[in-house]
Structure 1
Amino acid sequence: MIRTCLALAFSLGLAALPAMAQDPMTGPEFEAYTTGKTLLYGIGGEVYGGEDYLPGRRVRWSFLDGRCLAGEWYEEAPFICFAYEDGTAPVCWTFFETPDGLVAYLDGDEGQALYETGEAVEPLMCLGPEVGV
C-alpha cells in the first residue's frame, strides 16, 4: 500500500515536469489553444478566475464575481502578455500546455503558478458597471 501511494505521489509530481522541461507556448500556439474558449484558473488549489478568449486576441477577465475587465493579449517571447482597459501595466506569463491543461508562470517565476482547472460551458457572466450599487 505504501509503495502504491509513493508511486502515485511520484507520478503526480512528474506531471508538473513537462511545463519545466519544454519551451513556453508561442503566440500562435496559445491562440490556437485558447480562442473561442472560456478557461477557468486556480492558484494554490483555490479558484482564481476565468477568461474569455475572443477572436482577434481580445480577452475578458473576471475573478468570477460578476465584474469583467476587457483587454487584449500579445506575444513578447517568451511571454504572453495581457493589457487590460483599466490602464494598469501589462501582466506577462509563460504558458505551457500539459496533459492537465495550461500552466502559467507570472513573469516566468515557477513559484507563482496559475493552473487551468477547466473550460466553462458558457462565457463569463459580466454585470454592467456598478450594478446593485
Structure 2
Amino acid sequence: MTARALILCLITMTAGPACAADRPMTAAEFEAYTTGKTFYYGNGGAPYGAEEYLGNRYVRWSFLDGDCKEGRWFTDEAGLICFTYEDRPEPQCWSFLHGPNGLIARYENDPNATELYEVRQSDAPLECPGPKVGV
C-alpha cells in the first residue's frame, strides 16, 4: 500500500472496507488484539457465536447456546490463523482483517463461506453453563 493510499484509508471512513481487505492480520497482531478478551461475532445481521481468547493461544468457543468448546489457535504455513477444538481436531483456518467496526473473519477452508464480523468485545469471560442445564 502506498503512503497516499494509507493516508486516504485513515482519513476516509468509506474507504475502510477497501483498506481492511488489503492485508490480513499477522499472528502477532491478532494475538495482541484478542488476548484477554471475549469477542461476539455476527453473520448476516444475526448473532453467530462468541470466542474467548485466553493466554498462550488457548480459546473457548460457543455458538451462544451455553455449550463451550476448548481449543487452541496457531498459524499455518500460509500465515492463516487456524483453530482446533476438543470436538473438532481438524484445523479451521481463517484470515482476520481490521474492518471499520472491528474484526472481519474469513473462513478460508471454504471459499464460499460467509464472513463473520465483530459485533462487540468484552473483558468478561465467556459464560458456559453447559447444554441442558437443569434437565
Would you call these one fold, judging by a TM-score over 0.5?
Answer: yes
Give the root-mean-square deviation of aligned CA atoms: 2.2
8 Å CA contact 2:51, 2:61 repeated in 1: yes
Count of residue pairs the alignment pairs up? 122
What residue is the counterpart of 2:17 in the other structure?
16
8 Å CA contact 2:13, 2:100 repeated in 1: no
Shift of 1:13: 6.3
Q: Structure 1, residues 64-106: CA drift from partner, whole Å, max 9, x if none?
A: 1110000000011331000001134221111001231000111
Q: Report the residue type matching 1:120 in the other structure.
A: S
SS in 1 for 2:56: helix
Distance 1:90 1:48 in 2: 19
Normalising by structure 1, what TM-score?
Answer: 0.81
Q: Percent same amino acid at aligned positions?
A: 50
8 Å CA contact 2:41, 2:119 repeated in 1: yes
SS in 2 for 1:28: helix
Higher alpha-carbon deviation: 58-67 or 102-111: 102-111
Confirm or deny that 1:114 pairs with 2:116: yes
Shift of 1:129: 6.3
What residue is the counterpart of 1:34 in the other structure?
34
Normalising by structure 2, what TM-score?
Answer: 0.80
CA 1:66–1:105 in structure 2 vs 1: closer, same or farther (change >3 Å)? Answer: same
8 Å CA contact 1:64, 1:124 repeated in 2: no
SS in 1 for 2:116: strand
